[in-house]
Structure 1
Amino acid sequence: MDGDCLDVTLTSVLATTVQRMDTRTHRIHQVRFDVPIHSPAIGFAAAKLTGARYSVAAEAEPGSIVHVTPSDMRTALDITSDSAARHCFQQLLEAISGIHAVGVPPVGTLPARPPWIIRLTRYLEAEEQRDQDILAQATSNTLRQHLFAVLRRAGDGTKFVIHGAPSLAATYYRDGDVCVLVGADLASARPELDWGYLLGELGELASTGGYPAARYAAASMDVLLSTIRDRGLDVNYVNEVAIAKRFLHLVDYQNTCRMYEMPVPNVEKLQETLAELANLVEWAEHAPTQNR
């Protein structure tokens, strides 16, 4: 039975509907447009990622998934208390680490690349054919080569079970309890992809604001980088992935504008962000190598 509709969002990647099913639960229904739902991955997540810390996706009609969360939980993007934000972020790091600790299943159970890597690959490979692509025209060759390098190295290293797209937007919080949405982005790949994706989101928040989480994004970036250094991971690659994630956000935004048949608003801001990312690439090329 359908519940009360609380929110509907539509982007080039996802159509999301949030419904109130009863006084205790919300139903988050998502239709994906980027990649097909990988059924074996959903089944694997349901079997291995148990407990209240994870909301594992369940398949609904073809091409869509459903999450159920407690109705009094709110997305971590909207936390206003600094102490709650710190606690929530630490719990999110532990939840991601818990996924990485799960044994890698047989080949074919999980995709070899998370969906966001697939989207970025498709965009870069087709970019030269887009004469009217504002983003392609404003992207420096230095940044473009950086992005291709990130994609080439995505298959390197020891494979782990990874979340695929860990995010404050997919993390729910209430009075010390954390629930992370998992399943649709799950992959078997190097863990730096997860940490870099999350670092990229924090970089976006720190640069643009717009959510209460922007207040503590920079501090969270420091916590995250300290965590991955302690684990001996490739910190340089994590930073490189973060740049690629931020670039992909612009790609998804541009594609969403196209879907609505509207021009990209505030082109100047897009160009400023691209210049910032290019500067980060230039800085990284001259920074000391860390844990590589």
Structure 2
Amino acid sequence: MKKQRIIGMFDSGVGGLTVMKEILERLFDVRIVYFGDTARVPYGNRSREELIRFGEEIVTFLIGQGAEVIVVACNTSSATALPVLRDRFDVPMIGMVEPGARLSVEKTIAGRIGLIATETTVRSKAYSSAVSRALAKGCLPEDSALREAWQHGEQPITLIKAQGCPLFVPLIEAGLANSAEARGIARTYLNPLRAAGVDTLILGCTHYPFLEPVLREILGEDVLIVDPALAVVKELEGLLKHLDEWERSGLIGSPSSALTKKPWRARYYVSGDPELFKQVGNTLLQEPIGHVEQIILGE
């Protein structure tokens, strides 16, 4: 019987559950240890130094829980701290930015990509750079007309507008994703993107899929919404296959069985209020969140 890999995953709060949901629905031979840093949410106004320190504390904890792969299910951390974390830890890591950028390039039909994200992610220009890298590495649109026009230099493909949305995460963490307040704020944030004529919109924060019904209501059917979580699952699947191959060849050891004695698919840890995390998280996941344990880091 194939051993189940243990995936460590973290976000500033409940947002990473949108990624976790996609992974659990598509990959049946993994288990997830999830950490929501709810005592320090939001991350969008944090400094790079803080985000690196938070990431180091959380990754250390997740590895201690048996994690063999880390999914940084936070765009802000992916855009700022991930390169440092990869250098400091000997464990494979997947972020949100590169997979999301590739998916937006593949799905755009007019080459006019937009982004909504935290202010830190927007300032980092990580997504704009990642879109350029994706194209340079040979990633092309699925739309044949745009692909041919780009290859002949007739049509640019670029991230034309990035919009910071600082109020979204606090709203979602408070359980107000479907409120009138959320709709009003979303209209304000989306107006510049609509004016810029984007045809594809990247959800540059893992909290934002909670808002997808509201965003679709405002944007209409002409704008494609891209959730990077779908591309992360694909990348994770490929990485897990490589781990299996490396293990069979003896390049790495077998996964620890310390946490696989009892059947479970997900374990939840937070730095803040476990009950609030459960309350908001249960609005997304089809299976109710069970026990959530509070872990205080950085003391």
Q: TM-score, normalised by structure 1?
A: 0.30
Q: TM-score, normalised by structure 2?
A: 0.29
Higher relative contact order (CA 8 A, sep 6+): 2
